[in-house]
Every structure is written in structure tokens, then in C-alpha cells.
Structure 1
């Protein structure tokens, strides 16, 4: 109890400096406007689709602390769905349904995923920070395909799995301006799976005081998911586009 009171007093007296040294809680939200390309199948012979331009929302929280050897943690959830069309040049089987040559197909994909990121601050000062760690991406996907002329002809596949990714983040700030920049990325290439996700953004502090920091983000984000037989699904999908966000630091 006494230790807890001492910690709270230190936080109150030292403001943001103590928060960064002892305990930091971050919460943020982003809206991503992306273009999509690529295709999928339940075998290695993929069919490419023409996807709509769409929006995706992400929410995240992160906790940083000073305890040695125990990693900081960040959890991010991205709600992700899109629609597309394709005209077949040959027969195509998906979700135990065979579609004939010249069929016009409609697809709806849901690639909602959650990142569980464990990381260490290898370098951290007022100007530059560098984080490195491991991201366990929990993918929970659903893909539906139907014949545009006969919606009763349809197939669907559900797939899920945990994908381990290397995680890193670099950030820098320009003193006395409120301006900053960061680049964050996740990457994996193993057993014919290639997954990467990165974002880079300019940031600006709208609020910077003892109780709360608030900054806005404007940047670019990309996500590629090339899977080889994850729950029987093969994909080669890529999503890219600008995003805007806001982050709070307590």
C-alpha cells in the first residue's frame, strides 16, 4: 500500500516525465482508406478480383513500464472487410462449390485481425525512440463467393490462425514544434507465407500537458497477406492507402 502511494505521488509531482519513466498508457484510433488487389482460392491456382476502394478502422492500446526483462504490450484490432468482382476464364472451385467458365463472381472478404505485440524500448529519449519485439497476429477470416447471375450458387471458407511477426518502430520529434514522425512495421516470410504490414506518419501534438498528451496522425499504411494453405485457404492480397488517426497518452 505504501509503495502504491509513493508511486502515485511521484506521478502527480513529475507529470509526463514520470509517466514516461514509470508507467505510460496509450490509446488510439485510426481510419484507413485503402485500395485492394490480388486474389484467393482453396488451392494454389488463385483467381484475382477487382476490389472496391474501402475504409477500415483500427483501435489500439499500449502499456509501457520500467520493469526490466518484462516486455511492454500493445494490442491493436483492425476491422477489415471488402467486396470485389471477377470474370472466370476457366472453372473455379471454392468452398466446395464449382463455378463454371465465364461466370461473373461476387466476393465478400472479412480479414478482421488482432495484433498482440510484445516489445522492448531499445532506445528512448526526448528526440528518438526505437522499439523491437514480436507480434502475434490473430487472423479470423471469412471469404464468400457467389455467382452474380444466380446467388444460390455460392461457396464460403472460414479460416483462422496465429501468425508470428517481427515488430519494430522508430519515432522522432522536432523540439518546440509539436511535429514528429514515426514508422512502424511487422514482417514474416516462412514456409511460403509472406505477411507484412507497415505504416508511416507525420504527427502533431494538439495537447501536451501534465495530465494528457493528444496528437493527430496523417500517414500511409500497407498490408500484404500471402498465405499458403492456412486452414485450406490460399491468398495473395495487398491493401494500401492513406490513414488519419488520433492518439492519447495518459
Structure 2
């Protein structure tokens, strides 16, 4: 995956370098950090939807984390071909607690009143193909830009429970899923003055017993520099909710927190 990522980044940098010959081509890169405050539950091969789930906050006491967040954006003037955004955000949460009841997790039953450890991973890669809403940016002299399209989010979910079984064995049992999730995408940027922008983004899908959405609301500040590279700082809030019922895994995750990014546009 690292090789693919490096090749993709190299290709985008080559395209961005050619933008000198095409002033309507815009390239943007940003990187920063995001708080991840989790809540919800997770179960694996549960018999009882209530008894065999682990509450992430109350039972496992998963710790809040701060993780990196990287984004790329490429826009061009060809009307038919969509623009593209790429993003990567890892999630790795760990916690521990004491089981209040006997629970079924995977192929084991874990004993009540025993200690356990739980780790949850939810890495994701976003590939967004989008269009700018026609004429809005021109009609508002660049003060409003609306994007709409399709975001394919590849999620790499994993959960590992370690503890003591009813047979007094110390075991670890893991569940993992990799899913490409297509989501509707909408983004808005409002720029009342050249140095300040309000940005927002929404991704959503719902089907059967699954639902997934996230939204971002932020403030972007751009210093007044006269260079081809236009730096910016963005701060804001992000909230994500994921509900999965797939391949014996049932989970509902809420992850929210503040974020901060630095980047350049050219």
C-alpha cells in the first residue's frame, strides 16, 4: 500500500508541476492532526445483541487519541472529467475493563467478572470524484463554491478482544473487515473576504442495517502572500458515525473531535 501511495503522490505532484502551463488547474495539499473521541459498541458473532456487545466508553473505557490526517485535492478545467480528492486517516483505539456478564465473542465465551483488553482499528482511505456546481463560483466572484459527487471510502475495520474464557483460558479473538463504501458527497466553501473561508463537508450513505456519515465544519485562514504557493491554516470540528452489520460484525461507532491542518494551494 505504501508503494501505491507513493506512486499516487508522485503522479499528482507531476500534474501539479504542469499547472504552470494551465492556470485553471488547482492543486491543494494539507496535513495535520485530529482528535478522536470514541463511543458506541462492538460485537462479533453475538448470540444476544444486548448481552454480547461491548460498550466502548463504559465497558472498555477506550482512550481518546489524536491521529494524523492528510488530504490532497486536484481540480482542472475539463467539464466532463470529475475533479478528485484523496484523504487518509488512521484510527487505533485501545482500552480495558472488567466484563460484567459472560459474553460470546467470536468462537469463545468470555467469563464474567474477569479483566479484558479491547483494541479497535478503523483506518480509512477516501477517494472522492466531484464536480463544482456550475456557475456559482463565477456568479459570486469566488465567494461561494459548492462541490457534489461520489466519495468511495475504503474502511479497514478490526477489533481484538483479549481475556479469560469460561474454560479459564487466556485467548485473543479478532474480527476484521475491509469494505469499500460509496457515499454521496457535498462540500461548501464560503469566502466573505480573501483571507478567510468557512468550509463544510458532508458524506452519507444508508442501506439495510448499515449507515455511515461524517461532517466537517471549519475555518480556513490564508495569509496575504504574493507567491505561487498560497499557504493556509484550517481548524474545525469533525463528527463521524458508522453503523455496520456485516460478516458477523455489528458495531456502532461515534468518533468526534477538533482538528487542525496546515496546507498550500497552487
Partner of 1:69, secondary structure, is coil
2:253 is aligned to 237
Number of aligned residues: 234
| 2:222 pairs with 1:169 | no
Partner of 2:213, secondary structure, is strand
- Residue deviations 1:43-100, cap 9 Å, x none? 3443212211111211111110111121101111111111123433322222323212
Please tell me the root mean square deviation across aligned C-alpha atoms, in Å: 2.3
8 Å contact from structure 1 (residues 48, 86) kept in 2? no
8 Å contact from structure 2 (residues 164, 170) kept in 1? no
- Given candidates 92, 95, 110, the residue that maps to 1:99 is 110
Cα offset, 1:10, TM superposition: 8.9
Gaps of 5+ in 1: 1-7, 13-17
2:8 is aligned to none
Counterparts of 1:2-21 in structure 2, within 5 Å, are 11=20, 19=23
Cα offset, 1:151, TM superposition: 9.0
Partner of 1:68, secondary structure, is coil
- Given candidates 183, 188, 206, the residue that maps to 2:205 is 188
8 Å contact from structure 2 (residues 186, 201) kept in 1? yes
Closer, same or farther: CA 10–53 of 1 in aligned 2, 3 Å: closer
- Given candidates 222, 225, 230, the residue that maps to 1:213 is 230
The structure with more strand, counted as a fraction of residues = 1
State the TM-score, normalizing by the size of structure 1: 0.86
Closer, same or farther: CA 210–86 of 1 in aligned 2, 3 Å: same
Aligned counterparts of 1:96 and 1:144: Cα–Cα separation in 2:
13
Partner of 1:124, secondary structure, is helix
1:15 is aligned to none
1:39 is aligned to 41
Gaps of 5+ in 2: 1-16
Counterparts of 1:1-250 in structure 2, within 5 Å, are 11=20, 19=23, 22-42=24-44, 43=46, 44-45=49-50, 46-49=53-56, 50-122=61-133, 123-125=136-138, 126-147=142-163, 152-176=170-194, 178-206=195-223, 208-229=225-246, 231-250=247-266
Partner of 2:223, secondary structure, is strand
Cα offset, 1:225, TM superposition: 1.0
8 Å contact from structure 2 (residues 111, 164) kept in 1? no
Closer, same or farther: CA 203–151 of 1 in aligned 2, 3 Å: farther
Cα offset, 1:246, TM superposition: 1.2
State the TM-score, normalizing by the size of structure 2: 0.81
